[in-house]
Amino acid sequence: MRKRFFRPFWSYDVVKTEYWLNRMSMSGLRLNNVNFKTRFFSFETAAPESLIHRVIYQKGFGGNVPPGLLAAGWGSAVSGGNFSIIRHDAGADPTLNPSYAGLLVRNRRLKQIIGILLAVLLGMFCAMVTANILIIALLTSIAGPATFVADDGPTAVQILQICLIVAAVLLTFAWMIFTYFRLRKANSQLERLCGDNLNLNVPATQDILLPRREEKRLLRSKKLVRKHRRDWTYEPDKTEQWLEAMEKKGLNLYRLSPTGLTFYFWKLGPRRMKYTVDYQNQAPDAYFTLNRDAGWKLIYRGGRRFMETSIWVHEIPPDSPAPQFYSDAESRLKQVRRFIVANFLGLLLPSLMFIFVLCENVFLLNTLDPLNILSLLLMIFLILQLVFSLSRIIRYYFRIKKN
């Protein structure tokens, strides 16, 4: 006998779904098939058994359970597209377990996309509302409130159409907001489960962050030095060389300010250190563990959105070549290309949107009042800023390509 259950939001809390499947198998329902598109879970009646289920997500999986997991005692329950569900007897204790990392990466990307869409839609909505209010206010002040009496009112059909469109828009909006917050909750849960025993909140060379008072005292006695640097994220190779030159002068990087614009250095003495400024788009914990195990120390991690910047430092052992973060020229160039694409998206698109909105404001009212002039100046400033940043990024690309 078959039983089907509809679970449209099953992927928002995977652990809850797994526990649900465990309970189902204990009450005599064995998972048979899942249609991941329609979100229907099919069960067949069977003898009650104690099973542990796990959901795996791996892009391009094709549902082939890796041989290592099969050998460790897992059995395939359902596979389709990028998702798979595997299970084993509650009594058995497999040596290898599937990882939640694939699902976490997918959820983070999804949340990122939805977040951007929400921001864009909200921005457009606000711009439309303010523009409409301005137009109405302007026209009523000139022509009087009588301007808005229409010749004949809108027909019933038109009202219905507008209502349907508004309802559809509101529903989509609500679903996106719901998904965004559910994903945020799910991701923090998955991050805890992924583990890897990381502590990413205290990145400092000596692995200690001094209290503020101590830092102020050291700044006054010149044992701690502060330096500002703008746009260092757009030329990572120059930043690396600058930090290494600082080390040779006896200034050792201690930490960065939370805004990422100020560098703090100890004045301890020259060291031979290799710095790497790297970018990742929401890398899972495995990225940080791998680099840490290879001897790199994380000093700074910031700038979440499209690209997370991280500054790593490694000691150069005496009589040894400097360790390379990217030992392969091809992989380095690929990384640089990804950096450029993400920066273009992160810089160009929002700037273009700002400039577009400003253009609309400037050319809507054709008079030269102070508000217009201010908007024009702001637009010019933004365009210049954009051009400078983009030119730095492009020059960086050609510098790396030459090597």
Q: Of 293 and 369, which CB lies nearer to other proteins in the complex structure?
A: 293
Q: Where are the alpha helices (DSSP H) in 349-369?
A: 349-364
CB atoms within 10 A of CB 203: 21
Three-class SS state of 110: helix
- Look up residue 191 and give its amino acid: E
CA distance 314 to 299: 10
Q: Which is nearer to other proteins, 152 or 330 (CB)?
A: 330
Residues 335-354 that bind other proteins (CB under 8 A): 335
Binding mask 128-147 for other proteins (x = CB under 8 A): --------------------
In the complex with other proteins, the residue whose CB is nearer, 151 or 293, is 293
Query: Closest separation between CB of residue 101 and other proteins, Å?
Result: 6
Residues 299-318, interacting with other proteins (CB under 8 A): none
- Collapsing DSSP to helix, strand or coil, 171 comes out as helix
Applying CB under 8 A, among 101, 251, 298, 307 the residue interacting with other proteins is 101
**Between 97 and 179, CB nearer to other proteins:** 97
Are 5 and 41 contacting, i.e. CB atoms less than 8 angstroms apart?
A: yes
Q: Which is nearer to other proteins, 69 or 358 (CB)?
A: 69
Binding-site string for other proteins from residue 146 to residue 185, where x marks contact by CB under 8 A and - marks none: ----------------------------------------
Among residue numbers 193 through 212, which ones bind other proteins (CB under 8 A)? Answer: 194-197
Q: Does 97 bind other proteins (CB under 8 A)?
A: yes
- Secondary structure of residue 58 in the 3-state scheme: coil
Q: Is there binding between residue 297 and other proteins (CB under 8 A)?
A: no
Name the minimum Å distance from CB 335 to other proteins.
Answer: 6
CA distance 227 to 224: 10
Report d(CA 387, CA 393) in Å as an integer. Answer: 10
E-only strand ranges, 329-383: none
Q: Which strands sit side by side in the sheet containing 297-302, from one edge to the other?
A: 273-280, 308-315, 297-302
**Is 272 a binder of other proteins (CB under 8 A)?**
no
Total number of residues binding other proteins (CB under 8 A)? 44
Whose Cβ is closer to other proteins: residue 33's or residue 289's?
Answer: 289
Among 250, 323, 346, 350, binds other proteins (CB under 8 A): 323
Q: Is 102 in the site for other proteins (CB under 8 A)?
A: yes
- Out of 26, 90, 92, 96, the residue judged to bind other proteins by CB under 8 A: 96
Q: Exposure of 16 by Cβ count < 10 A (0-12 exposed, 13-18 middle, 19+ buried)?
A: middle
282 backbone φψ class: left, alpha, beta (φ>0; ψ -120 to 50) = left
Contact pattern for other proteins over residues 56 through 95, marking x by CB under 8 A: --xxxxx-x-xxxx-------------------------x
Tell me the C-alpha distance between 202 and 255, whole Å.
10
191 binds other proteins (CB under 8 A): no
Instruction: Kindly give the interhelix angle for 101-143 and 349-364, rounded to the nearest 10 degrees.
Output: 10
Question: Measured between alpha carbons, how far is 137 from 371 in angstroms, rounded to an integer?
Answer: 16
- Are the CB atoms for 257 and 224 separated by under 8 Å? no
Q: How far is the CB of 60 from other proteins (least distance, A)?
A: 5
Residues interacting with other proteins, by CB under 8 A?
58-62, 64, 66-69, 95-99, 101-102, 194-197, 276, 278, 283, 285-287, 289-291, 293-294, 296, 323-328, 330-332, 334-335
